[in-house]
Structure 1
Amino acid sequence: MDINLVFRIAAIGIIVSVLNQVLIRSGREEQATMTTLAGLIVVLFMIIQQISHLFDTVKSLFGL
């Protein structure tokens, strides 16, 4: 795992939390929820790619 991945996830979390607070303060709770869900989906896709890479490495290691 690359340290850049951790920084990207942290940056997405910070951006989403700031947007969430701004939208909640302006009375747009539904859009704040959608922003949070979108950030979660982006991070999950990033993690799924890394897990896929891990499984490929394990398969090649054991010759499967």
Structure 2
Amino acid sequence: MNIDLIFKIAGIGIIVAVLNLVLKRAEREEQAMLTTLAGLIVVLMMIVNEIAALFDTIKTVFGLW
């Protein structure tokens, strides 16, 4: 796992937090919730790809491939 992944997740978190704050101040609660949900989905997809790579590595190391 690269440190880049952690920075990407942190960057997405900061952007989503700022957008959420701006949208809530503009009384757009629904868009704020959808922005938060979209950020969460993006981060989960990034993590799923890393977990898939981890399982492939484990299969290769133990000869289960």
Class of the TM-score when normalised by the shorter of the 2 chains = over 0.9
- State the SS of the aligned residue for 2:16: helix
Residue number in structure 1 paired with 2:29: 29
* Whole-Å separation in 1 of the counterparts to 2:60 and 2:5: 23
Residue number in structure 1 paired with 2:57: 57
Residue number in structure 2 paired with 1:9: 9
* Whole-Å separation in 2 of the counterparts to 1:23 and 1:48: 29
Q: Tell me how many residue pairs correspond in the alignment.
A: 64
- State the SS of the aligned residue for 1:50: helix
TM-score (normalizing by structure 2) = 0.98
Gaps in structure 1 of 5+ consecutive residues: none
Q: Please report the RMSD computed on the Cα atoms of aligned residues, expressed in angstroms.
A: 0.2
TM superposition outliers: structure 1 runs of 4+ over 4 Å: none
